[in-house]
């Protein structure tokens, strides 16, 4: 299968061994496997080096400084050699449904598709607008294939502390339509999900909303502005609701 697999890693030692075991068991199906160590400070690098032994198509990209998941994924995609690149988070498990992947790639051959998203949906759909992207609740990066020739030209996004996956989803939509296919190709492990910045406090959610608007505004000027207003209003209302609940409990 002419597909590369990219795994960005930052301080995931607790979950990484299981993830890499699922990858090594299916390594022969990929053109190459690229682990991007995003300047981890735990034992992640040692676990990657251990997994690489005896696997000829396993490559390590060791970044000198921490750049964040968006930049780490982008570095991996840029260093790959396949037209299609599968992404996998360092705490998830690869299922290896290669027939599903091959069929999906064949279906979008010759089209302006920037990426393929595998979801729990029961039918194939095309995401062509920001509102359709929101309806799909953005994209799960471990169930995503991206087209290298389009994605490798992306500029490194602004560093934000919450919601980088949302910004990446928006960037993909500006490059071409997103094909949404039924059936997941990786298992998301909720127990290892990070509670980053208190699940995104008010300021960080605002920054994420503006970053999404910045990504979409050239191709979708009116839609991106409407989405920005919607995100800001919804985030503010959710924050006020939580504050009121705390005040009521304190009475």
Instruction: Render pLDDT for 88-120 as a digit per residue (tens, 0 to 9).
Output: 999 999 998 899 999 999 999 999 999 999 998
* Cα 137 to Cα 139: distance, rounded to the nearest angstrom: 7
**Inter-residue contact 17 to 46 (CB < 8 Å):** no
What is the CATH code for 3-195?
3.90.550.10
User: pLDDT tens, 136-169?
Assistant: 877 888 999 999 999 988 876 556 667 788 889 9
User: pLDDT tens, 186-214?
Assistant: 998 866 565 544 455 788 888 889 999 99
**Of 43-52, 163-172, 208-217, highest mean pLDDT:** 43-52
Q: What global pTM score does this model have? A: 0.89
Question: Reduced to 3 DSSP states, what percent helix, strand and coil does the chain have, rounded to the nearest 5?
Answer: 50, 20, 35
Tokens 């919601």 map to which residue?
163
Q: Where along the chain do its domains lie?
A: 3-195
Q: Please spell the DSSP secondary structure of 67-98, one letter per residue.
A: --HHHHHHHHHHH--SSEEEE--TTSEE---H
What angle is formed at CA 143 by the lines to CA 213 and CA 205, rounded to 5 degrees? Answer: 30
């Amino acid at each position: 299968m002419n597909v590369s697999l990219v795994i960005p890693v930052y301080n995931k030692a607790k979950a990484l061994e299981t993830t890499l075991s699922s990858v090594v068991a299916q390594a022969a199906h990929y053109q190459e496997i690229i682990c991007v160590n995003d300047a981890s400070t735990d034992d992640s690098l040692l676990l990657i080096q251990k997994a690489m032994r005896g696997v000829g198509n396993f490559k390590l990209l060791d970044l000198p400084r921490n750049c964040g998941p968006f930049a780490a994924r982008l570095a991996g995609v840029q260093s790959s050699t396949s037209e299609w690149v599968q992404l996998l988070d360092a705490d998830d498990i690869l299922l290896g449904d290669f027939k599903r992947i091959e069929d999906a790639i064949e279906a979008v051959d010759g089209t302006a598709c920037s990426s393929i998203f595998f979801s729990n949906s029961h039918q194939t759909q095309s995401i062509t607008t920001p509102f359709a992207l929101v309806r799909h609740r953005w994209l799960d990066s471990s169930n995503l294939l991206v087209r290298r020739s389009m994605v490798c030209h992306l500029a490194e996004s602004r560093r934000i502390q919450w919601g980088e996956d949302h910004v990446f989803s928006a960037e993909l939509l500006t490059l071409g339509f997103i094909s949404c296919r039924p059936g997941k190709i990786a298992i998301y492990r909720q127990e290892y999900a990070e509670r980053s910045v208190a699940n995104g406090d008010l300021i960080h959610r605002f920054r994420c909303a503006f970053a999404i608007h910045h990504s979409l505004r050239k191709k979708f000027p009116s839609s991106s502005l409407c989405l920005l207003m919607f995100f800001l209003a919804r985030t503010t209302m959710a924050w006020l609701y939580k504050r009121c609940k705390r005040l009521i409990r304190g009475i």
